[in-house]
Amino acid sequence: MEKAVEFLSENTNNFKPEIGIILGSGLGEIADEYCDYAFSYGEIPDFICSTVQGHKGRLVFAVINGKNTVMMQGRNHFYEGHSMSEITYPVKVLKNLGVKTLILTNAAGAVNEGFRPSDLMIITDHINFMGSNPLIGKNDELCGERFPDMTEVYKKYLIEIAEKCAKKLGIEIQKGVYWANSGPSYETPAEIKMIRQLGADAVGMSTVPEAIVANYCGMDVLGISCITNAASSSAGAKLSHEEVIETTQRAKKKFKSLILEIIKSL
């Protein structure tokens, strides 16, 4: 951890980011446009190189709308075979660099039948169905408590800011509960029916481990999902990763303008 933080501070002229953003599948363009310093994950001590198509695997530092920001252009996933602590290690690095507010983004399937592909959803809460937890193991008392409270992981004041920004930009926005599966297989129709009955609105394979660790370390979390497809049972059509990426491309303009507006308002 110290090595990674030292490496990044030394090579960014001691850049101190306040806002962190993890950019999900197909949503990384903002880090191409705003880029003062960039490192591929392979260069950073103990970072894992990203392998999934649609994920670049770069840590990008930039001043955006006057705010010092660090962006993860792509993330590592549990389904790639990495451990929970490996995939959440970057969140701890961001915390140690000085990040106070973490914006988590992802591509997700719609469980709520009122959602449409290319909708954006503010995450109000999550359900962890990944079968593991990134905090399993010896607790680091310097980071946080053994049994962290989870009553407001996705901060209400950030949800309000995101809603106001969407309204200002004329972007219709959804709100809902994000359900995380381990993946990599998509859900069966029976699973989607269960997920809906248990109170979730969208389903995906990421974000929750990062949200748990960020909350544990004392960061304020905002989550935004880009709805890329109707999760299996509702559509009756087959689902592919290509479709997911294609839909993020349709939504990326409004996604980017919303993120920029949120950064301005923080």
Long-range contacts of residues 45-52, Cβ cutoff 8 Å, at least 24 apart: 45/3, 45/4, 45/7, 46/1, 46/3, 46/4, 46/89, 47/4, 47/89, 47/90, 47/93, 48/76, 48/82, 48/86, 48/87, 50/74, 50/75, 50/76, 51/80, 52/25, 52/77, 52/80
Between residue 161 and residue 200, which ones bind ligand HPA under the rule CB under 6 A? 186-187
User: Is residue 119 near ligand HPA by the rule CB under 6 A?
Assistant: no
Q: Does residue 80 have an active-site annotation?
A: yes
In the list 21, 97, 107, 200, the residue contacting ligand HPA (rule: CB under 6 A) is 107
- If you write DSSP's letter for every residue of 191-245 in order, what string do you get? HHHHHHHTT-SEEESSSHHHHHHHHHTT-EEEEEEEEEEE-HHHH-S---HHHHH
Number of residues that bind ligand HPA (CB under 6 A): 13
Q: Which one, 102 or 111, has the nearer CB to ligand HPA?
A: 111
Check 79, 82, 233, 246 and give the catalytic one: 79
Between residue 229 and residue 258, which ones bind ligand HPA under the rule CB under 6 A? 229, 231, 239, 244
Q: Which one, 17 or 223, has the nearer CB to ligand HPA?
A: 223
Check 106, 118, 215, 229 and give the catalytic one: 229
In the list 203, 212, 221, 251, the residue contacting ligand HPA (rule: CB under 6 A) is 203
Show Cβ contacts of residue 29 under 8 Å, excluding neighbours closer than 6 positions. Answer: 252, 256
The residue at minimum Cβ distance from ligand HPA is 109
Q: Does residue 107 have an active-site annotation?
A: yes
* Token pair recorded at residue 107: 């591509």
Q: Does residue 229 have an active-site annotation?
A: yes
User: Active-site residues: which are they?
Assistant: 25, 55, 77, 79-80, 107, 205-206, 229, 241
Under the rule (CB under 6 A), what is the footprint of ligand HPA? 107-109, 186-187, 203-205, 228-229, 231, 239, 244
